[in-house]
Amino acid sequence: MTVRAMMLLLLLTASGCTGKWQKIEEDYRPLKYVVEQEVWDSEFVVTVGDSLYVTDLKEWNNNHPQGSVVYRASLLHEQVHSSRQKAKGVTRWIAKYETDAAFAWAEEQLGWYKELRALAEGGIQVNAEAAAKLLASYRTLSGAIVTYADALVWVQAVLGGNWHPPEEPKKP
């Protein structure tokens, strides 16, 4: 496990739910909680296991009013990460995400696909350039997960209905 991944796990899990937190509806399981915890950038949300960590819970609620399209879209995105962490093992998933940019990009594509589709279907006009710029800012220890140009092409493909997640292999 990388030092950064270990620090993230220690920061988020060792602190527990001692600060402000709120429950998430069962529709978004395995996610259970939104927890206020200092993370390195207030724009980013960090999902570890069944919890979604935000820097400021009041700000999160203001920007993601419960029941809104934005709230639903964000939780669908983070639900993907939570489910995949549960399936792979939280520690293993975080370590791979932090050290393998291709893995991180593939994981973000799955989450962002859900989010972008939910926003569009909910009538929210998505700014493809802004989404691509945000995606291009994602970093792992091995570097950026995607270039702005590639992210823009991908976001436009999702919004245009031309990109869908690969089917997961069915278990026997």
Average pLDDT over residues 113-137: 97
Cβ neighbours of residue 36 closer than 8 Å, sequence gap 6 or more = 19, 20, 21, 53, 54, 55, 56, 57, 60
Cα distance between residue 56 and residue 128, in whole Å: 26
Please indicate, yes or no, whether the overall pTM of this predicted structure exceeds 0.85.
yes
Average pLDDT over residues 148-170: 90
- Residue 47, burial from CB neighbour count under 10 angstroms (0-12, 13-18, 19+): buried
Q: Nearest-CA neighbor of 45 among 27, 83, 71, 67? A: 71
Give the model's pLDDT for residue 22: 95
Q: Three-state SS for 53?
A: strand
Q: Are 78 and 118 in contact (CB under 8 A)?
A: no
Give the model's pLDDT for residue 1: 38
pLDDT digits (tens, 9 = 90+) for 8-59: 555 555 555 457 899 999 999 999 999 998 765 566 788 999 999 898 899 9
Q: Are 98 and 2 in contact (CB under 8 A)?
A: yes
